[in-house]
Chains A and B, each alone.
Chain A
Amino acid sequence: MSKLDNLMQLDGALAAFDFSSSGELQDSKIADGAEIENDVLDMVCHVCVANGAIATMQARGWEKMTQMEGFYPIQGFSLIGFEWTVIVSDSIGVIIKNDKVDYDATYAVLES
């Protein structure tokens, strides 16, 4: 099974996707009945890339200034929305209903 399929097995998963380094949606799986379409996913991917870049800049600056290492490289970013949460690592992500989110299980699949 592909990683996207594995992500869709997570409880509450609404969509799984992967994207290019500049944020364009490359592939997706969307759960039956989920009111999410690929053009929304494409925007979500761009949000993830933008914030991954910001977080990387922050981790770099923080470590340089504080000598407190352990943030860089960024391994994941998560956005908690009003009803659902996006979790991404590298170029793959998943959208999960807020009341079902299991960060540890999701990162385990993303990092597998």
Chain B
Amino acid sequence: MSLIDELASQPGVMAAGEYAYRGDRFSYVGQLTEELARMASIMCRTTSMALHMQVDMLKEMGRDCGCAPAQGWSVKGKDYTVCVRANVFCFIDNKSNELNNIMKFLNEHIASDEGAMV
């Protein structure tokens, strides 16, 4: 079972996917259409690249403050949360109260991002 399959089968996860940092491909599993998954991967990829830039600049300010390289991010909406770790994303239903478990899963199953974005 691939990481994405396993992630998508976790309680509370509606859909999971991964994208190439170059933007030329993506894959997904779960309750999304191909077009929505493509849109989601474009959005997640853009935010990840922007965050990498911002965090690298924070570090450039002369302080290795524990932030760089960025490992991931999440955005909590009214009913859903989007979580991203490296180039892997998932949509979580807030009603499931599984955010901690999913973030733990991502932390344990995805190697530290060294910042190369390849």
Q: Do A and B come from one complex?
A: yes
Q: B50 to chain A: which residues have CB within 8 Å? A: 50-51, 54
If over half of A's interface residues share one DSSP class (helix, strand or loop), that class is named, otherwise mixed; here it is: mixed
In residues 39-66 of chain B, which contact A (Cβ within 8 Å)?
Answer: 39, 43, 46-47, 50-51, 54-55, 58, 61, 63, 65-66
Q: Would A70 and B77 count as touching, CB distance under 8 A?
A: yes
Interface status of A35 (Cβ within 8 A of chain B): yes
Q: How many A-B residue pairs have CB under 8 A?
A: 116
Q: When A51-B73, A77-B75 are in contact, do A62 and B39 touch as well, CB less than 8 Å?
A: yes
Q: Pick the contact of B55 from A47, A59, A103 — CB < 8 Å? A: A47
| Cβ B77 vs Cβ A71 within 8 A | yes
Contact A104 B36 (CB under 8 A): no
Number of interface residues of B (CB under 8 A): 37
Q: Does A6 touch B at the CB level, under 8 Å?
A: no
Q: Residue B24 at the A interface, CB < 8 A?
A: no
Contact: B76 with A81, CB < 8 Å? no
B66-A103 in contact (CB<8A): no
Tell me the bound Cα distance from A69 to B79 in angstroms: 8
Q: A47-B58, A75-B78, A82-B66 are in contact. Are A55 and B103 (CB under 8 A)?
A: no
Query: How long is the Cα–Cα vector from A16 to B85 in the complex, in angstroms?
Result: 24
Inter-chain contact B76/A51, CB cutoff 8 Å = no
Residues of A within 8 A of B66 (CB): 35, 81-84
Identify 12 new A-B residue pairs, CB closer than 8 A, beyond the known A47-B51, A82-B71. A40-B61, A43-B58, A51-B54, A66-B39, A71-B82, A74-B77, A75-B77, A76-B74, A79-B51, A80-B70, A80-B74, A82-B69
List 9 interface pairs A-B (beta carbons < 8 Å), by A numbering. A51-B54, A62-B43, A66-B36, A76-B74, A80-B85, A81-B67, A82-B68, A98-B71, A104-B97
